[in-house]
Structure formats: C-alpha cells, structure tokens
Structure 1
Amino acid sequence: MTDINENIESPFSLKVSFDKLLKHYEELSQSDDEFIAAKARRVIKTADAYPILREGFSDVSILKEREKEISTILQDSFSPVLTKNEIKTASVPFHNLIFNSSERFKSIIETAGEDFELQIKNMPKDDTYIIACTIILDFCYGYTINFKRPFYYEIPDENGIIQFYKILYNADFTEIVPSENAPKITQEDVDELLDNYENMALWKEKFPPNSYTFKGFVISNIFNVTADQAISNIKSSLIGEEKRKDEGFMKDFHKIFQSLLGLEDIKVGFSIYNKEEDSFERVYGVGMNSFLLNDSESKSCCGALCEMSYNTLLKEKKFYTISDVNKFYDLSKGKAPQYKSLKDQNIQSAILAPIANDEGLMGILEIVSEQPKVLNSINANKLVDVMPFIVTAVERSKNQEQNLIEAIIQQECTSIHPSVNWRFEKEARQFIKDEMNGKEPNFNKIAFENIYPLYGQIDIKGSSEARNSATQKDLQIQLNMIKSIILNAFELEKLPIYEQFLYQINEYLEGLDEHFQVDSEQQISSFIKQDIDPLFEHLKVIPSLKDEVYTYFKSIDEKVDVLYKHRKDYDDTIALVNKEMAALLDKKQVDAQAMYPHYFERFKTDGVEHNMYIGESITKEESFNPIYLYNLRLWQLQVMCEMENSFYLMQSNFPIKLDVASMILVFNQPLSISFRMDEKQFDVDGTYNARYEIVKKRVDKAYIKGTKERVTQKGKISIVYSQKQDEIEYMRYIRFLQSKKYLDDDVEIVELQDLQAVTGLKAIRVSVLYHKDPDDKSFYTYEDLMKEIKA
C-alpha cells in the first residue's frame, strides 16, 4: 500500500495531519509555565521544518520518513513514563494502519507471533461508508445519529489464549472539511436517510465518494476486557438457540472459558439433575460431554458424588473445587466416586459449579483440566459473574424441553390438526384474556358448520378369522407340548391326576379342531396357569424331565405369558400394514393440503381409516368453492388405489399373508362437527348428522341386497353412496382413473341391505389394477396378480 486511500470507497479523502495538535501546542507556547512553553516551542519548531506534517498527506512512505519527527510531536500523547503500562496507538480511522504506539502495545503484538494480523473486530465492512456519513453529519452539520458500537481486537497471549481489547477512540485532533462538490445536507435529507438505512445509493447521493477531506489522526486507548467479553460471549452463546445446535458450539464454548479463566488446558462439560430420581443425566447435543458421568448415560447422585460433595453442590449450592485429583483420590482411598471418575479420564483438577435457581438444582457445570492445581477455589470465583446467564439458559432450555414434550404428547396422543389449530388458539387467547381481566375463564365450544365429510378405509379382510386361526395354532402347539411332558411324567409315576390332566388336554384339543370359540382361549389359559404351571415347577427338578420342561418354558413369551408364535406373526403383520399404509397416507396428505386446506385425521385399527372435512369455516377464508371438494374426492379415490398397490407390493414382506378391502363413503350434504373435550376428538353435531356416523360404523359389514356377500371385497374398491348425483360424479372419476390404468373395466352398481335406521344405500364396485413391482409397466387384476406372485 502506497496511499492510505487505496482500495477504499468512502465519502472521505483521508489525510494524516498534525495541524490541530500543533495549534494546541501554539496555545501552550504562550503559557506562563516556562517549562511547558519551552517544550511546546520545541515541538512547533520540529514540525515547522516539515510543512507537510501540518498540510496533511496520504502517502504512507512519509510516515516512515518522518517517524522521528512524528514521535516528537506525539511525545506528550505517548508519555515515556507510562509507555510500558498504557495500551495506546495513533492511527488512521477505518484502517488497521498504526504509525505510533506505546511499548505495551508493541509487546502485546510481538507476543502474538509473526503470523498474527491485527484486525478490528466488530467493524462492519458493509457499513463503514454509512458510519463515515454519520460522522460527517455530526462534525459538519450537528445532526447526532448514534451509530456507536464497541470495536475491539482479539489478540492471542503467550499461551495462545485469546485476549479481548476494547478500543476507545479520541478524535480531538481531527477535522472534516467538505469539498466544493459536497451537497449541502438539510433536515429533509436527514429525515429521508433515517428511513433508508439500507439504501446505499441514497447515502452516496447525499455523500458522494471523496466529497469530504478528513485531516488529522485518532488516538486509540485500548483496554484488556477479556473477562467482560468472555461473560458477554457466554451470554450471547447461551441466548442463541440455533447456535447451541452447531457442531462448533462446544469448541467455541471451551475457548470462551479459556479466555475467562486465562487457562489454555481446560474443557467444559454439563450434567443435568433429575430431581425425581435424584440422578445426573447426560446432556444430548453436538460435542456435549459430562466428566462426572464419564461413559455412563446417567448415575445416581450418590453414585457420582461423595457425601461432602453431594451436600456442597445439592444442599448448599456452592462451588466444589478439586485442585489435585490424585491427592484427594489417595486421601479417599479411591472410595469417593467423583475422584475416581475424573482420574479415569486423566483429569487432574476440576471445578464443579451448581446450576441452581430458587427451586433447586438443575444441573452441574463441569470445568476440568489435565494439569493439577490450575483450577482451584480462588479462580472458581471468576464464575460468579457468568453463572446467572447459565442458570437462565438452563431454565429456558428446561421450559423448551417441557414444551417439546407436551407438543410430542399432543401430536402423538391428542393431536389437533393444523387446519383447525387457529380456532383453538383463538379460544385459548380469549381464555387467557378473560383470566387476566378477572373474569371467569371459559373455553368455548369449538365447532365448524357447513362442511363436507369424506371417509375412507383400507381394512384387513377376514382379520377376526386370521386372529382366531393364529390363536388356535398357538394353543394346539402349547397343549401338545404339555401333553408330551405329562405323558412322560405318567410313565415315571402312575398318578391319577396326570390322567385327569391328559383327559382335559384332549378335550381342549378336540374343541380347538371342531369349534373354536371366543372363550376357548381364556379357558385354556386359566387351566395352564392354575394347574399346569405349578405342576411343571415340580417336574423341572426331575432329571429325566428337566430338559423338556426347560424347553417348554423357553417357548413361552415372557410378556404375554403364553406361547406366542402365530399370534405374534399376526400382530406384527397388522402393525406393519398399519404403519406402512398410515405413512403413505400421511405423505400423500401433504400434497392434498397444498391443494386446499382441510381437516384430516386417521385411525389405526385392523387397517387404516381416515376422516376428512372440507369447507369455508375450517379455512377461515372466503375462498371455498365446490371444485375443491370434487378435487379432494378424486384425490381420495386415487390415493386409495395407490394404497392398494402399495399393500400388495409389500405383502411378501409380511410375516403372514393377509388381504385388504377398500371402501369410500360418500355423504352429499354438509354437516357440522364439534370438538368433544372429554374424548379429545371431533364428532358430528345433531341428530340428522349422526346418521353419517352410524353408516360409517356399520357399512363395511353390510351385505349386497338379497345375498350373503359383503359389499367390501379384496381386489376391489367399494364406493358407498345414496344420491344419484353421487353416482354420476364418481362414475366420471372412475372413467378418468380407468384411462390412467388405476382401475379395471368391471364396474358394477349394487344395492345394499338396509342398515338399522339407514335405507337406500348403493355401492359402485370396481377392481383395482395392480403392478407386480414398482418398475413393472404391466397391469394385473387381483387374481392375475396372485397367480404372478405365486408363479
């Protein structure tokens, strides 16, 4: 750099000048104090030999050429008596260019190392132009706009620990002179600028580049504020929730504490206190560690602390310091758990600080070092100023965790769908408002009127028969195992009771073969629990029966206390079907909500059911049109086809083979729904609307009129309706989906037998077309698909 204005866009044309300081010396030269006057005349004489020192210059080389003279001029500003104590520099504004400094500053820079590059921190590069403009407004026009922010240096010490130095500028020896082309600034201009901070073009219009001359220099008084800055950084780090999720958060946190304590070899850890279980638990997060817990996920407080440390931290809520871990480990003969845990991690000194509020302990801040005695009861006191911020952060974190827990419970257990959440929030706000105003708060009824319902289900076909068959097989296996053991026992001892047990077992086996009933499972389970289990406890000590009895007990599932093989396959299959179908439906719902917001809920039974409600009262906006209802109906039919396909593509992965049947219920009239507080779910309002719920619960078991054939069939989608216009509408959708090869051509319209209080129902039934695998371009009927799968 040859010129200080190089590569800088600024309203200033910078010139280093000592004119204003020299004018001060001219006044001092008339002082009555001859010593002061003589010194002032000597400084003026030195400067007068080089007029450019008054006139000002931007050539950097002059600073070097006139270094001796500049030092003489600045001698009073940089007192030789204080030069090894004060941290002070003379420099050019908006520059890292320093042309004079105290010995203390030079020593600090020398210690930082040859590779260190001095830079002003917190100096916004994008804002320097505007900062210069605000200085001009103050100096030249008297408009004070507070743009001050603290500037500082970050300089490492001899141990590599970052020290923070705050910079305070003295601009007494500067002057700013507008050039001839500088626009005159008015109050209107200032008002306009106040509302247009980010409009750089406007600032440059009012203050063109190089339209003002900055003459002089600034003196920087610098102070080590490492402790204050460390506290500020800790506060900033803990306030920023997103920062705590960053991978570098803990690394930066270590550095902050290193600066606070002036120690390089320290690490920071945390453990959370669980009051209910009187234990410490690990904090989960990137880079988080606990030195008290070491490798454990949690420990009881008594298992992590000795009695004295327990009382100090939990009862008295005071710092607990360990200056020499090995020394105290030996003194405790290795019995104090905190010393053993630290010693195992090669930690030699530590400070354990309780994170506590008025309600009690919340956690422990752990600061550790691999060097003995560097952490002790004296420097532990430096933590006093930072602990309130840590306590506040932990309080906030615990509140956020509790809110998250409640949100998860609400989502998983008592979910309120986002489409209607606004209505609940509105009532909640009113509830709070009434309570704050001293009124009796009351959570009003949540209801939505004139909305259209849609219902669909993909149901396991013959689930009861499949469950009974699985139960039957498990009981037969278990009874035959029991029978084998008792026969062997009877060979050893001809006891009549064994014969009676064998008779009972044969009766049960015969009953399972001929007529399995609902109460058969309960009867057999009671017989086994009351008679067989006590008998086998006796037989397992007989050497010749021991292995067989052991094998029997090993086959019994510990959780359900029965032989649970075929039933487990059935239950696992149902769980998998429900999980996969629900996941697919949820994924498709995202697209549907994007088309038009509507209420959606689903239930897992022996299959997956879903309810949807759409209408203007739910969306809160005057935007509803019947086209959105028709669109949602078509979407529902298409998604049901996709769920059928997805099920049969996954069928081979299920423990047992099951079939599904799909059904859609069409209800043509709008109805009203309200949220039932006791059941935490929406239900229809009114006697007429209740007809819809009755049909929903019974229609999938309905028969085709005059037959014993169920309306729902595997491989088909059944669309149940009552109005002719519904039939016409859905036939349009079916023809469209036939063109897309979702549905087959075998459409049939059937009448249903009357249900209780419900008559006149009809159904459209049509076969689904399937793929054999996701990449298969061929289409199959259900029968064809089964043949292909078995082939």
Structure 2
Amino acid sequence: METTLRDYPFRCVLNLKPLVDFWEQCTGAGCGKDVSHSAGFREPLMQIPILLEPIENLADLEPHRQLVSYLMDAVFPRALWDTEAMAAAVPFTLSPFLASPNFEGLLLNGDRSYRGHPCLAPDEYVRKRILRAYFFILKNCYGIEEGIDIPEIHVVPDPETGLDRYFSLTLNTRFVEIHRVGAPEILTPEQRETILANLNQPEVLRQVLPPEQFEFRGFVAIKAMEVTDQKVLAALDRDLIDKDSFISEPGFARLQQRLRTLFRMPDLTSSLAACLEDRVLLLNTGCHMVCNCIFTASRHVEAEVFDGSVFDRAMENGRILRVPDLAAEASLTTVDMDLLEGGLRSLMVVPLHYQEELIGTVALGAQHPDAFRPTHEMLADQLVPRFSMALARSLDELHKNVESVIKQKCTAVHPTVEWRFRKAVLEHLESAQKGEASELEPIVFREVYPLYGTSDIRGSSHARNAGIREDMTNHLSLALAVVHAASEVRRLPILDELAFQIVAHLDRVSDTFTTGDEAAILGFIHSQVEPLFKRFRELGGRVADAIEAYRTAIDSEKGTVYNKRRDFEESVSLFNERMSAYLDAEEAEAQAIFPHYFDKHQTDGIDYVVYMGASMMETGEFDELFVRNLRIWQLMVACGLAWHTEQLNGSLKVPLETTHLILVNHNPLAIRFRFDEKRFDVDGAYNVAHEIIRSRIDKATIREGTERLTQPGKISIVYSRLEEEREMRLHVAFLQYGGFLNDDLEEMELDDLPDVKGMKALRVGVNLRSSALADRLQRVMDSLAQSAPLAITC
C-alpha cells in the first residue's frame, strides 16, 4: 500500500530530563559551570516531577517558566538572550515552548504559532522533516552518517513593508534522545544496502524502519538568522536563467518583486534597457510582453534620445549612478522629465557590461527623495554580473533571430554591409510585433564607387571544344575498331553499314562539329553500337580485345572518353583555386585598410566587383583617397594574377594564358539588393549603363581593326573620361617605377559595342621577371598560408 507523507509519522515529546542530566553531570564533573548555579534549582526540581517526565501539553510549563528559563542558561547565554533570535522547541516538530524576544517578534504569532510559512511547498516540507528525523536515527542508532544537513528556511512578511524576509533556522539536537518502541531493530546487510541506496526516499526508509518504532524525547535549540539577501540573490540567479524573466510580463514582475525584497523597498520600480547599435530597447513592467524575443517584446527608442540624461551619464562613466532627487537636478532632459512626471524622485542607474562592452542598464527608482544609500549601491554591485550575463544571453538570441531572417531572405551577406541588413531586419521584426505585415525595406546604397576587374583564360572555349573533338574522335575510333574486328571474323553487310555510319560521324567531328552533335553521336553509340558488344564478344579473339580496350577507355560516370576534357577542367580548376586564394589574400589586406563590399565569381577565370562609399559605412566616414588606393591595388592584383599564371603553367596538364582587364568609372552610382535574386545590382536607368559596359567590354576590339583589346600577359584599362585616364596613367607610372609593369604603355580607342560607344583604353605589359613583384606576392601568399589550412607556395 502506498504510504502518504501528508502527516508527520514520528512521535515527538518534550522532555527536559536530558538538560537536567547535563546539569547533574556538571555538578560532579566540573564541566565549567558554577556548581552553586546547578544546586540552586536541584531542590525545586525535586518538588516539580513533571519537569523530569515527558510533557504532552506545553501549557503545563507555564507555571514553571522561570525555572525552565533558569535551566536553559546551559543552552542560551543570557548575554545574548535579548539580542539574538533563539528558541527551544519540541524535537523535529519545532513547536516552541521558550523563545527570546527577538524570536517572538520576528517569527511567532501571539498564540506561539509561526508567522509566514516554510520556504518549501507543504508536502515537500513534511518530506524534508521526515528525512531529517531518519538521518538522526541512522546516525545515532546504526552508525550510518550518510545524511546531509537539510536547511530549514522560513519566510515571514515584514510587518512594516509587507515584503518577505527569509530566516534560516539552525537546529541543535544536543538534547534529543531516541526511545525505541518494542524490540530494537537489527539491520541485515540487505536492509543497509537498501537504506544507503534510498537515503532521499522516505517512503522506502519507513518500510525498512517503521516510524512507529521510534520516539523522540527532549528538545531542540533553534537559532534564527536572516538570509534574505542570499535567498533573493539565489532566486534571481534561477530566474535569470529563464529568458522569460526578461521577455514576459509575469517574469519581469517577479524580478521586480525580488528586487523590492532585496532593497527593502515596497514601492521600488525597476526597468531594463538593452543597447543595440543605434537604438535602445526598453523593457519594464509597463510593456505588453507576449513574444519570445527580447527585441519584439520591447519599446524601441533611438539612442540619441538619451543624450545628456541620467542614463547617458551612468553609461558614459561606466559606474553606478545615484540620483538623490531628480527634481533638484540642474538640467533635465526629456527622458529625465518623463521619469519625474511618472512619480520617481530617487534613481539608481546600474550600467551592465559584457566582455568590457556596454550592453544595457538596470534602473531602480523610488517615489521619495534620498531613497538610495551607499549600502544600496553595494547591493547593486552584486546584481551587475547576474543581469549582464542574462541580458547578453538574450541579446545573443536576438542576434541569432536576426541572422536567421537574413539567411532566409538574403543568403550570405558581406560583413561590410551586414549592419544595414540587421537594421532592416530589426525594423521588420518591430513592425511584425506591432501587428503590421511588412516585407524587408529596400536595401539601397547611394553614391558608391564601383571598381571592376577580370582575369580571363584566353581561348578557354576553343580549348574546351578542342578537347571535346579529340575525346569524341577517340571514342568513335574505339567503336570503329570493335566493328572492324567483328567484320573480319564474320562478314556481314550490316557491319559494313555500321562502320560507314561511324566514319560519317568522325568526318563531322573533324569538320563542322557543333555542341548539339556531341549528344547525337553519344546517342548513336549507346543505342546502335554498344548493344551489339554482347554478341560480338562471342566471336572471341581480337574482337574481345577491342571491346575490352573500348570499355577501359570509357569514363564510367560520363559514358564517353573524357581524357582531354578532364585535363582541361582539372587545369582550369587548379588555376581558379590558386587565383581565388591569392585574390582572397589580397582582398583581406585591402579590407583592413578600408572596409568595402567585395564580390567575386569564378568560371573560366575570375572576375570581381568592389563597391565603396559613405552610405555603406555605418558611421558614414569616407574619403575618396581610399578609392584611389584601391585602383592602385587593382593594378597590383592584376600583376599578381598574371605572375601566378606564369608560375602555375609548368604544373598544368593544359597550359593556360590569361588576360586582365580593369574598368574605371569615376561616377558614383546606386546599388540595390535584389531579394528575389539574392544579390546586389545597380539601381536606376542611368546606372544600368555601367552594368552594360561591364558585361560587354571583355569582347572589345581596337578601333578599325580585328585585334582584341585583352592580350595575354598584359593589363587593359578601360575608361571614358579624361580625368580617369590621367589618374590611371599616374598609377601605371608608379608601378613601372616599382618594376611591376613594363615600359610599353599603349593608348587606343575601341570599336563601338552594342549600346557602348566612345570607350578608350590603356594597355601595359606585366613584368613577369620582376623581383619586386615576386617578393610582394610571396609575402601575400605567406600570410594566406598562416591563416588558412591550404598552404600555397609561389
């Protein structure tokens, strides 16, 4: 049958005899007590036998309270009786029969019942009391000292403030004795093992040791000590682990009530502010908090609103600020006036930092002046790490929510412009919190300078087509060898016709081969030739060898000969990998000089675009000096790409040649993020001209000729305005002086392209034997090798 813990199962009886025995022992043993003191109550005790026997009714003690108090001198020093909270009570029931004035005033009602309530729920409280009794039994009767000291915490409302106060009751069981009812219980080894395995389960313990077999006699001495601060701080720790303490109205109200208890101020109000970029997120009990995000559960205020306020002063100094009386402050901002009009006179602002960065404030206010003292500031110091960690955790969760929206709607975002996307997402979340359906606001950067460069593999299409031709020729030749071998063994006109068809395909490959022909030829081979191999293999000999040679040469994944194309693609892949790694290393150094948007693409070669301007900077700081610096950087990068091509060709299966082009445009333009395509594009009809030029200029030819502008080993610089030419000539001259470029600068006009007219160009050769260039590139690549697992050597 399941046992219940609702009622306390042990019999506990008050008995003063253990204390009387103590005094008797002192009389004869000289235990440090005055013998005459004990002799003074020996005779009265003989005349009051009730004091030497178990006392069922505490009222029986009332006529003898003075003598009982006299006896208690052994337990409670008289010097402390009027200042400490002490009491004597029935064992384990804690029913007091004697209490000091402080104990009575703090913890007892007029009928000597306890005020307030235990800190635990009723069932748990009884359960802990039962465990305490069993631990006492196990220690004193069976030598099992595995139990722990279970704290007795009592919650009492303060009569003046109504706020909870917490008291820890320390129990001294020196004068408690255990009396057995019936024969002593001898524990078997199995029972001991059961007890040790279930020390926290009173239901199991009472099956082994029924409480009816034990009776507690004597009394416990109780000392009460206030632990309000410790309990409240521990409760705050638990609350702040739960994010709802910040973002839900009940959670924040519970936090505020604990702060009132900690500061002993029933009218204390609290508020929490989080700093987030250029805004402040306000959380307080006045907010309507129903969401699970600190951002969407808050009111948002621009940070500049707080300039000069008490909050600004506290954050500026980084220290707790106490304001004795807001009304007496020399100058009040709008924020300060709002506090004053809200009924607050005293204020204490506590800055919160995480990893040396200011992340918010906790503000405590009261309705009367001079409410906060230096001791309150000491208490507030203990709040700082607790609230800082909790707020930092909540802000981190907010950042994760923002990142999630950015990834969902924008994929990866370049770090330089991430701030602008975060701002748009925050506005979007705020609108959603207000119930206003909205998409992310347009992300547009105006007045930005574009820089474009490309390094293409010269003749990549021709090289790829040549590889396809050679692979298809080899494939058809292998198929023809199988058919010829079969025809020599068994002369059949159908085999001659099949050979005729294969030869016709070979002629087409060598003559007028197009992209569509590859699929047609493979379809012919897979449907007309390969199905015959099973029957051909039966012919044995040379036919089987020809089929085996065919099978060996065919790529199992591609279904065709793929040797030359694989060589070309592996060469292009290795080239792109090396060029991309080098460009990343160069771009990292340029990014450190001044932040900018950078995007690159790889196909047969590599191209990149850079945008930079004041609108892309969160601070708005910008200087055109950095644009000119990046144009020099472009030229140096093009030199590096050409140098790497030269160095890399020795290790490529198919040697490659690269051409390098830079487009110069001094006119700033606007770019817009296209959410549907998840990329930036120029914005506005005027700016589209730049995109058109960028997409077509690599096909440009010299005016009135057929020569392509871009040539291997040279850098082509395309421009349209005189000031653009002048600047680039200066940059070229500087790099020629440094040994990066040859002294072969050319100036030329370009043929018109569709919708692109009047373009001009400079062209200059790269000094591929330059030691200065090699030294610089070695430094860049060494830097890359140290920061990435891929080691690349020049």
TM-score scaled by length of structure 1: 0.51
Q: Which moved more, 1:556-565 or 1:545-554?
A: 545-554
Show the counterpart of 2:495: 498
What secondary structure sits across from 1:602 in the alignment? strand
CA change 1:505–1:446 in 2 (3 A) is same
SS in 2 for 1:755: coil
Query: In the alignment, is residue 172 of structure 1 matched against residue 172 of structure 2?
Result: no
Corresponding residue of 2:680: 682
Question: Which amino acid is 1:44 matched to?
Answer: M
| Structure 1 residue 175 displacement after superposition | 12
Query: 1:432·1:441 contact (CA, 8 Å) conserved in 2?
Result: no
Q: Note closer, same or farther for the CA distance 1:445–1:102 as it changes in structure 2 (3 Å cut).
A: same
Are positions 1:710 and 2:746 aligned together? Answer: no
2: distance between equivalents of 1:627 and 1:145? 65
Which position in structure 1 is the counterpart of 2:740?
742
> What SS does structure 1 have at the residue aligned with 2:741?
coil
Check conservation: 2:486, 2:539, Cα contact below 8 A. no
Q: CA deviation at 1:663?
A: 1.0
Q: Answer yes or no: is the 8 Å Cα contact 2:132–2:150 preserved in 1.
A: no
Q: Who is 1:448 aligned against?
A: 445
Equivalent residue runs for 1:189-228 within 5 Å: 195=349
2:642 is the counterpart of 1:669: no
2:131–2:200 Cα contact (<8 Å) kept: no
Q: 1:475 aligned to 445, 453, 472, which one?
A: 472
User: Following the alignment from structure 1 to structure 2, what is the Cα–Cα distance between the partners of residues 533 and 765?
Assistant: 54
Alpha-carbon distance in structure 1 between the residues aligned to 2:758 and 2:551:
56
- Corresponding residue number in structure 1 for 2:761: 763
Q: Deviations over 1:444-490 (max 9, x none)?
A: 65443332211111111110121012112211221221121111100
Instruction: Give the alignment of 1:231-242 within 5 angstroms.
Output: none
Tell whether 2:43 aligns with 1:46.
no
Conservation of the 8 A alpha-carbon contact between 1:83 and 1:104:
no
Larger radius of gyration: 2
1:608 to 602, 606, 611: 606
When residues 498 and 439 of structure 1 are mapped into structure 2, their CA distance, relative to the original with a 3 A threshold, is same
CA contact (8 A) 1:649 1:772 kept: no
- Indicate how the Cα distance of structure 1 residues 469 and 676 shifts in structure 2: closer, same or farther if over 3 A, else same: same
Q: Can you list the C-alpha shifts for 1:368-407, whole angstroms capped at 9, x where unaligned?
A: xxxxxxxxxxxxxxxxxxxxxxxxxxxx9xx98x999987
**Alignment match, 1:632:** 630
Change (3 A) 1:51 1:605: same
1:175 and 1:470 map into 2 onto residues whose CA distance is 85
Equivalent residues of 2:454, 2:660 under 8 A apart: yes
Mapped to 2, the partners of 1:570 and 1:107 lie a distance apart of 90
- Which digits, 9 at most, give the CA deviation of each residue in 1:740-775, with x for residues without a partner? 443333333233223233333222222223479999
User: Which residue does the alignment assign to 1:33?
Assistant: 61
Measured in 2, the distance between the counterparts of 1:146 and 1:496 equals: 109
- Deviation at residue 652 of structure 1 after TM alignment: 4.0
CA distance in 1, matches of 2:647, 2:548: 41
Distance 1:619 1:600 in 2: 14
Aligned-pair CA distance for 1:717: 1.7
3-state secondary structure, aligned to 2:654:
coil
Q: CA deviation at 1:105?
A: 7.7
Residues 235-260 of structure 1: CA distance to partner in whole angstroms, max 9, x if unpaired?
x9xx99999xxxxxxxxxxxxxxxxx
Q: How does 1:513-592 map to 2 (within 5 A)?
A: 513=510, 516-544=513-541, 545-592=543-590
Matched residue SS, 2:471: helix
Equivalent residue letter for 1:623 = E
CA gap of 1:466–1:149, structure 2 versus 1, over 3 A, is farther
Residues in 2 aligned to 1:150 and 1:699: alpha-carbon distance in whole angstroms:
84
Contact 2:446 2:669 in 1 (8 A): yes
- Cα distance in 2 for residues equivalent to 1:149 and 1:719: 83
Give the match's secondary structure for 1:505: helix
* Deviation by residue 1:307-360 (Cα, 9 ceiling, x = unmatched): xxxxxxxxxxxxxxxxxxxxxxxxxxxxxxxxxxxxxxxxxxxxxxxxxxxxxx
CA contact (8 A) 2:657 2:712 kept: yes
SS in 2 for 1:642: helix
Distance 1:34 1:559, change over 3 A: same
Are the equivalent residues in 2 in contact too, given 1:771–1:779 (CA < 8 A)?
no
- Give, in angstroms, the shift of residue 666 of structure 1: 0.8
Partner of 2:721: 723
Find the partner of 2:697 among 673, 682, 699: 699
Aligned counterpart for 2:482 among listed residues 477, 480, 485: 485
Helix, strand or coil at the partner of 1:33: helix
Residue of structure 2 in register with 1:215 after alignment: none
- Residue 476 of structure 2 contacts residue 502 of structure 2 at CA under 8 Å; is this kept in 1? yes
CA pair 551-54 structure 1, distance change in 2 beyond 3 A:
farther
Runs (5+) with no aligned partner, structure 2: 1-50, 52-57, 96-125, 152-156, 170-193, 203-220, 229-262, 266-320, 325-345, 354-372, 377-388, 779-794
Rounded Cα–Cα distance in structure 2 between residues aligned with 1:741 and 1:119 = 83
| Residue 730 of structure 1, CA deviation | 1.6
Post-superposition shift, 1:419? 4.0
8 Å Cα contact 1:453/1:671 also seen in 2: yes
> 1 CA distance for matches of 2:127 and 2:65?
23
Q: Is the 8 A contact 1:717 1:765 kept in 2?
A: yes
The alpha carbon displacement at 1:676 in A equals: 4.0
Query: Structure 1's 462 and 175: CA in aligned 2 closer, same or farther, altered over 3 A?
Result: closer
- Please give the alpha-carbon distance, in whole angstroms, between the structure 2 residues aligned to 1:621 and 1:765: 38
Shift of 1:102: 4.8
Shift of the alpha carbon at 1:206?
5.5
Q: Which amino acid aligns with 1:601?
A: D
Partner of residue 732 from structure 1, selected from 727, 730, 748? 730
Mapping of residues 388-399 of structure 1, within 5 Å = none
Q: Distance in 1 between matches of 2:72 and 2:566?
A: 101
Letter in 1 for 2:638: M
Q: 2:146 & 2:450 partners in 1: Cα distance?
A: 73
Q: Distance in 1 between matches of 2:448 and 2:693?
A: 18
Cα distance, 1:407–1:677 mapped onto 2, change above 3 Å: closer
Determine helix, strand or coil for the equivalent of 1:469. Answer: helix
Q: 1:173 and 1:678 mapped to 2: Cα distance?
A: 67
Q: Paired residues, what number?
A: 501
Instruction: Give distance in 2, aligned partners of 1:120 and 1:193.
Output: 40
State the alpha-carbon separation in 2 of the partners of residues 241 and 442 from structure 1: 25
Q: CA deviation at 1:425?
A: 5.1
Q: Structure 1: state its 5+ residue gaps.
A: 1-28, 58-71, 90-100, 122-137, 152-156, 177-184, 200-204, 209-235, 244-395, 781-791
State whether residues 88 and 105 of structure 1, in contact with CA within 8 Å, keep that contact through their aligned partners in structure 2.
Answer: no
**Cα 1:476–1:43 shift into 2, 3 Å:** farther
> What is aligned with 2:643?
645
Deviations 1:167-195 (A, max 9, x none): xx98626899xxxxxxxx99998979965
Out of 448, 457, 461, the residue aligned to residue 458 of structure 2 is 461
Q: Are the aligned partners of 1:664 and 1:719 in contact in 2 as well (CA < 8 Å)? A: yes
Pairs within 5 Å for 1:126-145: none
1:757 alignment partner, SS class: coil
Query: Equivalents in 2 of 1:539, 1:719: separation in Å?
Result: 62
SS at match of 1:682: strand
How far, CA to CA, are the matches of 1:453 and 1:433 in structure 2? 33
CA–CA distance in structure 2, aligned partners of residues 240 and 163 of structure 1? 35
Q: Taking structure 1 as reference, are residues 527 and 506 closer, same or farther at Cα in structure 2, changes over 3 Å only?
A: same
The equivalent of 2:615 in structure 1 is: 617
Q: Structure 1 residues 776 and 424 mapped into 2: Cα distance closer, same or farther (>3 Å)?
A: closer
Structure 2 length normalisation: TM-score? 0.51
Q: Distance in 2 between matches of 1:665 and 1:497?
A: 61
- Note the 1:88-167 alignment, pairs <5 A: 102=136
